[in-house]
Amino acid sequence: MKWGYTISQPRAINLDTNDYRLSNWVLNNEPSLLRCFGCGSCTATCTAGNLTSFNFRKLHHALRLGEYTRIKEEVSKCMLCGKCRLVCPRGVNTRNVVVSIQKAIKEYEAIL
Amino acid sequence: MKGKHVTIIGGGPAGMQAASQLSELGIEVLLIEKDNKLGGKLNQWDRLFPDQTPSMTLLKELQNAIEKSKVTIRLNTEVQKISNLTHGFDILLNAEETQHSDAVLLTTGFELFDARLKEEYGYGTYPNVITSSDLEKLFREGQPLTTAEGRTPSKIAFLHCVGSRDEKVGQFHCSRVCCITGVKQAIEVKQALPECEVYNFYMDMRMFGAGYEELYREAQEKWGITFIRGRISEAALNQENRIQIKAEDTLAGRPVRLSVDLLVLLVGMTASPCNKALAATSGAELRSNGFFNPVDPFNHSVESAIPGLYFAGTCTAPRNIGETLMEAGSAALKIHKFLLQND
């Protein structure tokens, strides 16, 4: 029988139970991401983000919290043009962050 | 400058600095302190931001200058009243004695915000919720950093803006120094316990001073401290007796849940309670938050509207120690000029 109701999943991010293996792999591979202070310059200048819902700041922010929902699909939207790296005020190697995420996804596909 | 007398009310860094400088200029100085020793809040701190200078190093420097000078010091003395006369001031000490002075410098400093007023964080209820001042005391006494039960913490969270930018506790202002204190203490925790995970919950990171932003960057990059933008809404004990935190990660736009072994509240600055009586009796103006209001925030930031009555340091607004010491020097020069003109 269908009641027309579903059970909502909790929206809260649980930092105690999240799996940080993928995220730690990316940070080890590209430690400059540690310096990010969330200004959004990367996203403001993003070629892909200008035309699609791709949001690079949100993507790597969620990654660092151990949140990997739709990460594979999202990261594939990046065209690696590198404009974000030119504008980052904290000197994050953003292109290598993208490449690292792609590599880490292959490594940790099982936890996604 | 023969026969000119200045009373300085408050023996913290501002009062000590101004006292020795005025004395060097040949002025007779009485330095009044309510506590049983000079140094004010410097006595409670271990290391100073941004470079971890031991607070004792600075305190000794200020003490040496005082010892070489001819400043008269009165400890355990409180001022109830400043009477503004045609020529100078009468200052009532310990409700029994009157001191006449040609000028008065107020260096009454600040009090730390009472974290119990933010009941939702459980300070005073949960022993593993402590303040930045409590943590500093642990460092200062060289005690190991443990929970109240004696366990080595594996996760610690710092909460910025406790008693700052919060109209619910009547504190509209930013206390300025807590951001950098949070960064400094987070690094000190990592230095003491490299395996411990450290989280800082902030609304803005206000890294205004020289070297502050650099230290923030070091905290992120070298020490791996996680900064989460969002104010903790509440802290409670969970079943494992750890502190359960609720907040929103405002950059992710989602609620976050985290349990920690210790929660450190970065308490802000509130006005010294003695300001009220001093303002009422002398005619000096107070801001709505209880700090003194100088003539303007530019070229007259150490002057009250009353000739001969001056301010220095955190009695007018939250400041760091460097700014406080500079203001004390500036006030000493202004007082010197005032006394020359009224000779």
Please tell me which of the candidates A13, A38, A67 has its beta carbon nearest to residue B255. A13
Distance from A31 to chain B by nearest Cα, in Å?
A: 7
Query: Tens of pLDDT along B248-295?
Result: 999 999 999 999 999 999 999 999 999 999 999 999 999 999 999 999
Q: What angle do CA B338, B340, B343 make, to 5 degrees?
A: 110
A16 lies in a domain?
Answer: no
Query: Tens of pLDDT along B73-126?
Result: 999 999 999 999 999 999 999 999 999 999 999 999 999 999 999 999 999 999
Asked if B143 and B264 sit in the same domain, the reply is yes
Q: What angle do CA B45, B49, B52 make, to 5 degrees?
A: 80
Q: What is the pLDDT, as a whole number, of residue A3?
A: 84
**Chain B residues touching A69 at Cβ < 8 A:** none
What is the spatial distance between Cα B184 and Cα B208, in angstroms, rounded to a whole number? 14
Asked if B232 and B299 sit in the same domain, the reply is no
Asked if B34 and B54 sit in the same domain, the reply is yes
Range of the domain at B155: 115-269
Asked if B96 and B152 sit in the same domain, the reply is no
Asked if B131 and B254 sit in the same domain, the reply is yes
**Chain A residues touching B199 at Cβ < 8 A:** 15
Distance from B41 to chain A by nearest Cα, in Å?
A: 32
**Chain A residues touching B255 at Cβ < 8 A:** 11-13
**Chain A residues touching B221 at Cβ < 8 A:** 31-32, 34-35
Identify the closest residue of chain A to B225 by CA–CA distance: A34
Asked if B169 and B138 sit in the same domain, the reply is yes
Asked if B179 and B321 sit in the same domain, the reply is no
Q: What is the pLDDT, as a whole number, of residue B320?
A: 98
Asked if B215 and B263 sit in the same domain, the reply is yes
* N-terminal to C-terminal alpha carbon distance within chain A: 32
Asked if B121 and B265 sit in the same domain, the reply is yes
Q: What is the pLDDT, as a whole number, of residue A8?
A: 87
Q: Is the pLDDT of residue A1 over 80?
A: no
Tally the domains of chain A: 1
Mutation site, B199, B207, B256, B261, interface A, largest A CB count within 10 A = B256
* pLDDT band at residue B200 under the 50/70/90 scheme: very high
Q: What is the pLDDT, as a whole number, of residue A66?
A: 97
Q: What is the pLDDT, as a whole number, of residue B324?
A: 98
- For the residues A81-106, what does the mean pLDDT come to? 98
A12 lies in a domain?
Answer: no
Which residue, B269, B304, B333, sits at the end of a domain? B269
Q: What is the pLDDT, as a whole number, of residue B77?
A: 98
Q: Is the pLDDT of residue B1 over 80?
A: no
Q: Name the E strands within B18-162.
A: 28-32, 47-48, 53-54, 72-74, 79-84, 89-93, 97-101, 103-106, 110-112, 129-131, 155-162
Distance from A110 to chain B by nearest Cα, in Å?
A: 24
Could you tell me what percent of chain B has a pLDDT over 70? 100
Distance from A86 to chain B by nearest Cα, in Å?
A: 19
| A vs B: CB pairs below 8 A | 50
State the Rg of chain A over Cα: 15
Distance from B125 to chain A by nearest Cα, in Å?
A: 23
Query: Tens of pLDDT along B213-261?
Result: 999 999 999 999 999 999 999 999 999 999 999 999 999 999 999 999 9
A54 lies in a domain?
Answer: yes
Asked if B100 and B154 sit in the same domain, the reply is no
Tally the domains of chain B: 2
CATH code, domain carrying B11? 3.50.50.60
- For the residues B205-218, what does the mean pLDDT come to? 98
Asked if B276 and B245 sit in the same domain, the reply is no
A6 lies in a domain?
Answer: no
Q: What is the pLDDT, as a whole number, of residue A47?
A: 96
Which residue, B269, B292, B323, sits at the end of a domain? B269
**Chain B residues touching A12 at Cβ < 8 A:** 254-257
* pLDDT band at residue A2 under the 50/70/90 scheme: confident
Asked if B298 and B241 sit in the same domain, the reply is no
Which residue, B252, B269, B286, sits at the end of a domain? B269
A13 lies in a domain?
Answer: no
pTM (2 d.p.): 0.96
Q: Which residues of B touch A (CB under 8 A)?
A: 199, 205, 216-217, 220-221, 224, 226-227, 229, 249, 251-252, 254-259
Residue recorded with tokens 């409180």: B78
Q: What is the ipTM of this complex?
A: 0.93
Query: Tens of pLDDT along B159-191?
Result: 999 999 999 999 999 999 999 999 999 999 999
Query: Tens of pLDDT along B34-59?
Result: 999 999 999 999 999 999 999 999 99
A33 lies in a domain?
Answer: yes
Range of the domain at A72: 21-111
